Chains A and B, each alone.
Chain A
C-alpha cells in the first residue's frame, strides 16, 4: 500500500518529509502566537460580557465566563438611543451603499469604454479629487450652503463618490468584459444603457459584491461625517452613540466614590462589553459569506 501511494504522488510525499525544516517550524510557531494575540482579546470581551463584572475587574476571569449574567445585555435594552442609532445605521448603510454602487459603477463603466470622447480629461477630473480637496472647513461650508447640514441626506449622498472604487470597477470592466460583446450588441440595435443594464451588470457580480462589501463596512463603521454634519441626536448613527458610551464617559465613570458608585461603574463596564458585541456582530456575521470574494476583489484592484 505504501508503494501504491508513493507511486500515486511521489513528489509530494517525498517533498513533505524532506523540507519540513527549521524555517517552517518557526513560521508555524510564530503564526500560532499571532493567532493567540488576535483571538484572545476578542474572546476576553465576549466572555466578559456574560460575566460578573466584579470577577472581570478582580482578574479572576481568564478562560470561561464567571458568574454568568445577562445584566449587560439587559442594561442595553434600556438605552433607547442605542436602538435608534442601530436603526439609523442600518438605513444609512443600506441606502448609502445602494446610491454609492449605482453612482460609482455607472461612472466606472463609462470610463472603461475606449470610444468615450474626452475619456482622459474626465478620468483626470475624477482622479484629481483623490489627491487634492478643499479640506474640512470649505467642505463644511458648502454642505451648509446647500442646506444639507443636519439632514438624513448628508449621510448618504454628498460623499458617495469613491474614486478608488471607480478605478477598481473600471479595471474589472476593461479586463473582464470582452469588447466584441459590445460590437455584437450594437449590430443587434442595442443601445449603451440597455447593454449596460442587461449585459454588463449581470456579468459583473464579483466586482459588485466586493464593492458592496467595502462600501457597506465603511458606512457601518464610520463616525466622522456624523460628527461633523449632524446635530440632532435622533439622526445619530450607532458609532456616534458608541463613542459616547465607550470613550467619552470613560473618564467620568471612574471618578465616583462609595458603594453605589462602584456598582454603577461595574454595570457601566459590563454594558461596554455587551455593546461592543452587539454592534460588531452584524459585520462579523456578514464576513464568512463574502470572504471568498476578498482575494478576487484585491486582484481586480491590483491589475491597475
Chain B
C-alpha cells in the first residue's frame, strides 16, 4: 500500500518535473482526440439507423442490418473482387523497387547513377490529379501519344482508358512508372549499410558479381522488404481512393468500383450514412485482422515482424 503510494508520488513528481514535455504533446494529442478518436466513436452509426436530426445516441439501433445489406447486395461481390484484384496485382509488383535498388547499387559510373536516380524519383512528385490527366491525354487513342504511335505503324490504338479489362493493368503499371524509383530509396539506403569488406572478402573468394548480389545484397534487403510487405498486405482491402476515383468512367466502372469509391458514393453522394459506415467498418476490420495475421506469420517464419 505505502509502496504503491510512493510509486504514485514518484510518477507525479516525474510528470511535474517534465510538464514542458506534456505541453509539447498537447496539440497533437488534442487534434487526434477530436479528429481521430471522436470519429472512431462515431462508427457506432454503422449499427444504428442514423439520421442527423436525431443524433448518434438517440438514433434507434439497427444491429447488423447494414452489414447484411452489404453482404447481400450485388455490389458486394463486385467491389470486393475489384479491390482484391487491384491490390494483389499491386503487391505482385512489389519486387520492382528492390530490383531497381540492386541495379543502382551495381552502377559504377557515378554521373550516370546520379542522373538515373534523379530521373526515376521525379514522377513521384506529380500529383494524382495531374498523373491521371497525363494518363488520359497520353493514352488517348484519338489524339494522344499512344494513338500517334500506333498510327505511325498504321495500326488502330486500343482504348485503354475505356476498357474494363485493362483497368487494373493500367492502374498498377502507371503506379510503377510513378513510384518505383521513389520506393527504391529505402532499399538503396539499406544497401549502403553493407560493410564494403564483405564484398572484398567475397571477391577474394572468387565470387562473381551475381553471387555477390545473391548472397550479400539480397539478404541485406530482406528485413526491410518483409516489414514493407507486411504493411502492404495489411492494407489489402485499402486500395487508395484518389487515383481509382479519378480514373473511373462509365466504360470501365465494372472493374474500377472498389470499396473506397463505393463508400464515398453511398455515403456522401447519396447520404446513406449508416450503410456507408458499415461498409467502411467491415473494410477496416478485415484490414486489421490481416495485418495481425501476416505479422504473426512473419514472426513465425522469420525473425522480422512489426511488433
- In the complex, which of the residues A44, A137, A246 contacts B133, with contact meaning CB atoms closer than 8 Å? A246
Interface residues of A in 260-291 (CB under 8 A from B): 269, 272-273, 276, 279-280, 283-284, 287-288, 291
Q: Are A242's CB and B130's CB within 8 A?
A: yes
**CB of A63 within 8 Å of the partner chain:** no
Stretch at the interface among B17-25, B74-82, B164-172: B17-25
Q: Are B130's CB and A279's CB within 8 A?
A: yes
A285 and B89 alpha carbons, distance in the complex (Å): 33
Tell me the dominant secondary structure on chain A's binding face: helix
Q: Are B35's CB and A159's CB within 8 A?
A: yes
Q: Are A24's CB and B27's CB within 8 A?
A: no
**CB of B229 within 8 Å of the partner chain:** no
Contacts of A299 in B (CB 8 A): 189
Interface residues of B in 108-159 (CB under 8 A from A): 108-109, 112, 115-116, 118-123, 125-130, 132-134, 136-138, 142-143, 145, 147-148, 151-152
A302 and B190 alpha carbons, distance in the complex (Å): 8
Q: Are B130's CB and A280's CB within 8 A?
A: yes
Interface residues of A in 170-191 (CB under 8 A from B): 191
**CB of B62 within 8 Å of the partner chain:** no
Q: Are A135's CB and B43's CB within 8 A?
A: yes
**CB of A215 within 8 Å of the partner chain:** no
Number of A-B contacts (CB under 8 A): 258
**CB of A166 within 8 Å of the partner chain:** yes
Q: Are B21's CB and A284's CB within 8 A?
A: no
Chain A: minimal CB distance from B249 (Å) = 7
**CB of B6 within 8 Å of the partner chain:** no
Interface residues of A in 75-134 (CB under 8 A from B): 102-104, 106-107, 109-111, 113, 115-118, 122, 125-126, 129, 131-134
A111 and B11 alpha carbons, distance in the complex (Å): 16
Q: Are A116's CB and B18's CB within 8 A?
A: yes
Given contacts A137-B267, A224-B242, contact A115 B133 (CB under 8 A): no
Q: Are A103's CB and B177's CB within 8 A?
A: no
**CB of B28 within 8 Å of the partner chain:** yes
A98 and B105 alpha carbons, distance in the complex (Å): 36
Q: Are B103's CB and A27's CB within 8 A?
A: yes
Given contacts A117-B11, A193-B24, A224-B241, contact A125 B32 (CB under 8 A): yes
Q: Are B284's CB and A133's CB within 8 A?
A: yes
Q: Are A34's CB and B43's CB within 8 A?
A: no
Q: Are B42's CB and A276's CB within 8 A?
A: no
Q: Are B116's CB and A35's CB within 8 A?
A: yes
The interface centre, meaning the residue of A111, A240, A288 with most chain B CB atoms within 10 A of its CB, is A111
Chain A: minimal CB distance from B219 (Å) = 16
Chain B: minimal CB distance from A89 (Å) = 10
**CB of B88 within 8 Å of the partner chain:** no
Given contacts A125-B29, A243-B129, contact A141 B273 (CB under 8 A): yes
A227 and B39 alpha carbons, distance in the complex (Å): 19
A interface list, Cβ under 8 A from B: 16, 19, 21, 23-24, 27-28, 30-31, 34-35, 37-39, 41-42, 44-45, 56-57, 59, 102-104, 106-107, 109-111, 113, 115-118, 122, 125-126, 129, 131-143, 146, 157-161, 166, 191-193, 196, 217, 220-224, 228, 239-240, 242-243, 246-247, 250-251, 254, 269, 272-273, 276, 279-280, 283-284, 287-288, 291, 294-295, 298-299, 301-302, 304
B interface list, Cβ under 8 A from A: 11, 14-15, 18-25, 27-29, 31-32, 34-43, 45, 52, 103, 106-109, 112, 115-116, 118-123, 125-130, 132-134, 136-138, 142-143, 145, 147-148, 151-152, 177, 181, 185-186, 188-190, 192, 209-210, 224, 227, 234, 241-242, 246, 249, 263-264, 267-268, 273, 276-277, 280-281, 283-284, 287-288, 291
Query: Other CB < 8 Å A-B pairs besides A140-B268, A142-B34, 14 of them?
Result: A24-B209, A31-B116, A42-B123, A107-B25, A110-B22, A116-B18, A117-B18, A135-B281, A158-B31, A158-B34, A221-B128, A250-B136, A284-B125, A298-B185
